[in-house]
Chains A and B, each alone.
Chain A
Amino acid sequence: DSHIQYERVGADVTMKCGSMDWDAAVTWTANGTDIDESHLNGSYLILKNVDLTQSGQYSCYEGSSWHLKYQTYLRVGMPPKEPVLMCRSNNYPKGFYCSWHLSAPTYIPNSFNISVIHVTREMVCEKDVFPKNRCHIRYLQLFSTVKYKVTLTVTNALGKNSTTVTFDEFAIVKPDPPESVVAKPVPNNPRRLEVSWQNPSSWPDPESFPLKFFLRYRPLILDQWQHVELSDGTSHTITDAYAGKEYIIQVAAKDNDIGTWSDWSVAVHATPWTEEPKHLTTEAQVTETTSASTSSFMPPPTTKICDKGAVVGSGAVAVCWTAGLVLAAYGVLFI
């Protein structure tokens, strides 16, 4: 008979050759390869301090006839450590889901059992087809002050372990990030970027359970983010962008009243509108030139290259000098 035998890493394993006597002449194989007699005690196979590499099919044959007398599949593994469990509601007020994983592999099959208790009621957590380590629960009550208690037990052939989390209905509410984030330049506005996004599709009723949003943006060349919190609407115009600089923009969402912020959305990139061809000027010199010029003169877009702190480096200073000379020449022409 062939069967499966589970043993713990580091254990000493003794295999008997079925009903054969201890002093019978036998040959053991592991995955079809003969095992050296040094591992035998009579007809018993002795494996000391087993490790994962020793998992496999073990067969015992009668000495002279080579009849198969015993076969087993040895699976070396570990009992489960305490699992990691988290619960979250990204579709409030419909329900919430719980997902789990093991902090270390066991190398053998595990089964999971989850129980959800609220007040005195045990609620059904329906297992998801994918991913396998997740289940979801429908809320039977809303606005309860009674905490939920969720216990996950993981069991395998070598042992079991469990963990429990308790939480308020409001505390686990965390929407998915906003979707379809788009950032576009605004024509003829060198310092503006128009950002729009959509509510996460998993949020079932944004009209009754509105979300608020947090937008962050920075030019690629800087590390520091600017932040804007928006209590309604799914668009915003950035008005203080550095002209000509590529920006990275992200948005997060939160229920207006409860729970925590979502993760940041996928980042989008955009550069504010610039006039073609690009001119390098300072703001002060544009004003000077404009006041001396005819009404048809269009001041070139401002760049921030010459502004203090916008760009660090001696290259920026050289650009400022050059720009200054060019505009001084322009100014002389128009006076």
Chain B
Amino acid sequence: MHQLSKGLSSPGRRRAGSWVPMTAAWAMAAADSPSAALRRRDLCSRGIRLAGKMRSDVVDLLDTYVERQGLDASASVAAVEGVPVAAAERWDEQTGTQRLLENLAAYRAFRALLAQMLEEQREQLGEADAALGRALAAVLLQVSAFTYHLEELLRLESRGPPSEEGAGPPPLPHLGLFERKLRGLGVLRELAQWAVRSARDLRQLAKPGPGSGSAPSLAESP
């Protein structure tokens, strides 16, 4: 994953591991500087485009997945442990940092879940369904890229990204083949929702002004 992240950095950028540690005061000043604001806006607009492309590819992948796995597209899937849920209450009241942290936690989890799905799909179907495997791998790549993007934005917010906890998603109870297929459906559906949410989060973040990410209150009457 780290290799993937490195490969996606823009030319001339320093690797994440080589950033010089900063004092809090300097970090605050740097975060407010015009160049930091420009960098943030640039990362936000690129992130929004990445989220849009990711959503489009996940929607296509959902169609392929449903067809190849013999599922009913309208099947309800109960919330599964370990799959980040995109639904948010009081979304409009979140700060920019909260948005970034929630997004980062989600995409790190999706990165691990998709890697797991890819492995299971290869074991289950082998080379029989290369198209599904390629589509899964392509989305996994985009999720990794987006994760890196979020980490960069958090650095700009003068709080580095939290370290990744554990080596992957929580260990699963033994799931039969059908349950694994349904779980995969749930993962892709939530990822599609997250891709829409992330674009909105980044637009909030890109708004100028203090406490970027504070939106007009939804509590006003319509």
Residues of A within 8 A of B (CB): 91, 93-95, 136, 138-147, 170, 204-205, 207-210, 256-258
Residues of A within 8 A of B220 (CB): 94
A145 CB → nearest B CB, Å:
5
Inter-chain contacts of A139 with B (CB < 8 A)? 218
B91 touches A142 (CB 8 A): yes
Residues of B within 8 A of A91 (CB): 222
- The answer to whether A144 and B216 have CB atoms under 8 Å apart is no
Q: Are B86 and A93 in contact (CB under 8 A)?
A: no
Cβ-based interface call for B52 (8 A): yes
The DSSP consensus for interface residues of chain A is loop
Q: How far is the CA of A141 from the CA of B86 in the complex (A)?
A: 10
Question: What is the CA–CA distance of A39 and B218 in the complex, to the nearest angstrom?
Answer: 64
Using Cβ atoms and an 8 Å threshold, which residues of chain B touch A140?
A: 89
Whether the pair A144, B92 counts as a contact (CB closer than 8 A) is no
What's the Cα separation between A204 and B88 when bound, in Å? Answer: 19
Contact A141 to B87, CB < 8 A, known contacts A205-B216, A257-B52: yes
A–B complex contacts, Cβ < 8 Å, 13 sampled: A93-B92, A139-B218, A140-B89, A141-B88, A142-B88, A143-B91, A144-B86, A145-B85, A145-B190, A205-B216, A208-B207, A209-B203, A257-B52
Given A138-B218, A207-B207: A170 and B92 interface contact (C-beta under 8 Å): no
Asked if B181 lies at the interface with its beta carbon under 8 angstroms from chain A, I say no
Selected interface stretch from B120-128, B167-175, B191-199 = B191-199
Q: Are B87 and A94 in contact (CB under 8 A)?
A: no
A141 to B93, CA, bound (A): 12
Chain B's nearest CB lies how many Å from the CB of A81?
A: 27
Judge whether B222 and A142 touch: CB under 8 Å: no
B204 at interface by CB-CB < 8 Å: yes
Nearest Cβ on chain B to A17's Cβ, whole angstroms = 55
Nearest chain B CB to A92's CB is how many angstroms away? 10
Asked if B41 is at the interface (CB within 8 A of a chain A CB), the reply is: no
Minimum C-beta distance from B11 to chain A (A): 27
CB-CB under 8 A from A208, the residues of chain B are 200, 203-204, 207, 215
Question: Complex Cα distance A258/B197, Å?
Answer: 11
Q: Which residues B173-217 have CB closer than 8 A to chain A?
A: 189-190, 193-194, 196-197, 199-200, 203-204, 207, 215-216
Q: Which residue of A lies closest to B193 (CB)?
A: A143
> CB-nearest residue of chain B relative to A147?
B76
Instruction: Kindly provide the distance from the CB of A173 to the nearest chain B CB, expressed in whole angstroms.
Output: 11
- Across the interface, which residues of A come within 8 angstroms of B190, CB to CB? 145
Chain B residues, CB < 8 A from A256: 199
Known: A144-B86, A257-B52, A258-B196. A205 touches B222 (CB 8 A): no
**CB contact under 8 A between A145 and B196, given known A139-B218, A207-B207, A210-B203:** no
Task: Tell whether, in the assembled complex, residue B216 and residue A170 are in contact, meaning their CB atoms are under 8 Å apart.
Answer: no
- Nearest residue in B to A95 (C-beta to C-beta)? B222
Contact (Cβ within 8 A) B222 A136 = yes
Q: State in angstroms the CA–CA spacing of A258 and B199 once bound together.
A: 12
Q: How far is the CA of A94 from the CA of B85 in the complex (A)?
A: 20
Cα separation A183 to B189 with both chains bound (whole Å): 42
Report the bound CA distance from A138 to B219 in whole Å: 8
Q: Which residues of B contact A143 (CB under 8 A)?
A: 86-88, 91, 193-194, 196-197
The distance from the CB of B205 to the nearest CB of chain A, in whole angstroms, is 10
Contact A144 B199 (CB under 8 A): no
Q: How far is the CB of B189 from chain A (nearest CB, A)?
A: 5
- A93 interface neighbour in B189, B193, B218, Cβ under 8 Å: B218
B26 CB, nearest partner CB in chain A, Å: 31
Which of A141, A204, A210, A257 touches B216 (beta carbons < 8 Å)?
A204
A94-B218, A207-B207 given as contacts; is B89 within 8 A of A257 (CB)? no
Q: Is the CB of A170 within 8 A of B196?
A: yes
- What is the distance, in angstroms, from B208's C-beta to the closest C-beta of chain A? 10
Once the chains bind, are A209 and B200 in contact (CB under 8 Å)? Answer: yes
B149 at the A interface (CB under 8 A): no
B111 in contact (CB, < 8 A) = no
Q: How far is the CB of A26 from chain B (nearest CB, A)?
A: 58
Q: Are A94 and B207 in contact (CB under 8 A)?
A: no
Closest B residue, CB atoms, query A91:
B222
